Amino acid sequence: MVEHYRPKNLTEALEWMAERKLIPVAGGTDLMIRARNWQGASRAMKGDVVYIQHLEELKFITETETDYHIGAGVTQAQFYDCKLLPDYAREVVGQMATPAIRNAATIGGNIVNAASVADLLPLLYAADAQIVLKSRDGQRVLPIQSFEIGKYMTARREDELMFEVILPKLKIKKYLYKKMGQRRSSILSKVSFLAIEVEGGTRIAIGAVNDTVVRSKELEKRINEGGGVKSVLDGYKALLNGSDDKRSTKRYRERVVINLLMKWMEEKR
């Protein structure tokens, strides 16, 4: 029998999570599908559940001089509608899922679920975002690369909840975002490609191909120094190790990535 916990506030949620193993459920747009069952039957949750969608402490978007702070409980619709946030970031979120799903799905859910196709992740990798985790005993701040450790795997401990993502403010000179899918809406990406041009040069993050997002500072440096196109493309090719699956083929994904890289480098020259 699965137990259901609905905390009054964040403190209570963290107390409970320190004492027992609980699965956090926010918008439910992924977990409710994975717990699918017959009409009317109990959802097949894989363990005891703690509901967090209603926690006001996780719903905020603020800014400092250097960063945006986005609470884990902010929905994709709220993120997209927030004019405070930069266009390149809002565009990524605006292409996720569908209007009704964006009303339910949270930023934290997309990050902590850690699907290899999560469209927020290339954005967070490119921006060098940080993830703040809270537990009863304190908090930890991890760079996104250290947080996302594999397909559906993060560095979150069982007693921790994601509190917020810290998105550094960047002076974006130019960006290219391309979400490739079978259709434009409500689709899992074949490739989720983001290139941005900031003061320090180009940053490129490639999602939905490998288990985690591909980002190489070494290859970015090569692009910024005007290195040969072929050596850059070969460098990225060597990093891609996706496989054929129901979304696409390895060959198609690589072709798309190479084409987008060439387009980006051509426009940059």
Partner 1 sequence: MSDYQYILNGEKRVIACELSRRLLDVIRIDEGLTGTKEGCQEGECGACLVFIDDQIFNSCLVPMSNVIDKSVVTIESYAKTEEYQRIERAFLDAGAVQCGYCTPGMVMAVATLLRSGRTLDEETVRMGLSGNLCRCTGYQTIFEAVSSLTESGGQDG
The contact set with partner 1 (CB under 8 A) reads 2, 4, 6, 25, 27-29, 32-33, 35-36, 39-40, 42-43, 45, 49, 51, 53-54, 77, 97-101, 103-104, 184-186
Residues whose CB falls within 8 Å of the CB of residue 117, separated by 6 or more in sequence, listed in order:
188, 189, 192, 207, 208, 247
Burial of 224 from C-beta contacts in 10 A (0-12 / 13-18 / 19+): middle
With respect to partner 1, which residue has the nearer C-beta, 83 or 171? Answer: 83
Question: Please, which residue, 1 or 228, has the CB nearer to partner 1?
Answer: 1
- Residues found in the chain: 269
Q: Answer whether 27's CB lies under 8 Å from 75's CB.
A: yes
- Which is closer to partner 1, CB of 5 or CB of 88? 5
CA angle 119, 83, 181 (to 5 degrees): 25
Cβ at position 212, least distance to partner 1 in Å: 25
Please state the closest distance from residue 6 (CB atom) to partner 1, in A.
6
> Minimal distance in Å, beta carbon 223 to partner 1?
33
Nearest CA to 191 among 109, 258, 264, 239?
258
- Whole-number minimum distance, CB 98 to partner 1, in Å? 3
Quick one: 102 or 253, whose CB is closer to partner 1? 102
Per the rule left: phi > 0, alpha: psi between -120 and 50, beta: everything else, 240 is beta
Residue number, 97 or 144, with CB nearest to partner 1? 97
Question: CB of residue 240 vs partner 1: minimum separation in angstroms?
Answer: 28
